[in-house]
Amino acid sequence: MDTLENPHNGFAWFVIQTLHLREQKAQKLIYSNLVSQNLHDYVKEMLIPTRQVITVNKGVAKKKVHKVFSGYIMIHMQPSKILINTINKSNYVIGFLGDSKTDPTPLDEQSVRHILDISNVDSADKNYINDFKVGEMVRVIDGPFTDFKGTIKQINNKKTSCILNVYILGRATPVELSFFQVEKES
């Protein structure tokens, strides 16, 4: 089988660029094309790197899944000309990242580890995305300062808190509060 000749001798990670917001459709189509041509044994894994984040909006926390690299799929495969051509011809696929469409460049091990670490975040190590900005006026909705207003002076995403100046008796007093304790002033 010279059509399955392997220039890289073994499995390696590659990146496939897809149409924006079509990663899942592309992934399904690639897999079905590989199965129909009996090439699926040359692919160990195909994944869309995602991570779970908690967004806080109006004091309400919601869990969401965010794509780490929108428009890209990672594939762990044993490259061959026929496999690369099959993937390149799949709908929603723009092509492989690398020097050319027919000879993609494999990712180095450090990059793969970094991407997988980002997407495999422990549930104990939560990522929070907030929609607050420094200098913004907010209202406290929980705790001893409920219904007080203040201006955000500092944001700490790791601690999921912000320091704001709350106006008590006409004086600005710095207070550290959780994102869940404040909401944007409407």
pLDDT tens, position by position, 126-183:
456 677 899 999 999 888 888 999 999 999 888 888 999 998 888 889 999 988 888 8
For residue 138, count other CB atoms closer than 10 A to its CB: 23
Q: 139 has which bridge partners?
A: 149, 183
Domains 2-128 and 132-184 equal at CATH topology level? no
Both tokens of 171, joined, read: 């004086």
Q: Can you name the CATH fold of 132-184? A: SH3 type barrels. (2.30.30)
Both tokens of 113, joined, read: 């580890």
Q: Are strands 50-57 and 127-130 parallel, antiparallel or unpaired?
A: parallel
Q: Can you name the CATH fold of 2-128? A: Alpha-Beta Plaits (3.30.70)
- The helix/strand/coil state of 103 is coil
**pLDDT digit string, tens, across residues 37-91:** 999 999 999 999 988 777 766 667 778 888 888 999 999 999 999 999 999 999 9
Domain ranges for the chain, please list them: 2-128, 132-184
151-171 burial: b if 16+ Cβ within 10 Å, else e:
ebeebeeeebbbebebeeeee
For residue 134, count other CB atoms closer than 10 A to its CB: 12
Angstrom distance (rounded) from CA 176 to CA 170: 18
pTM of the model: 0.65
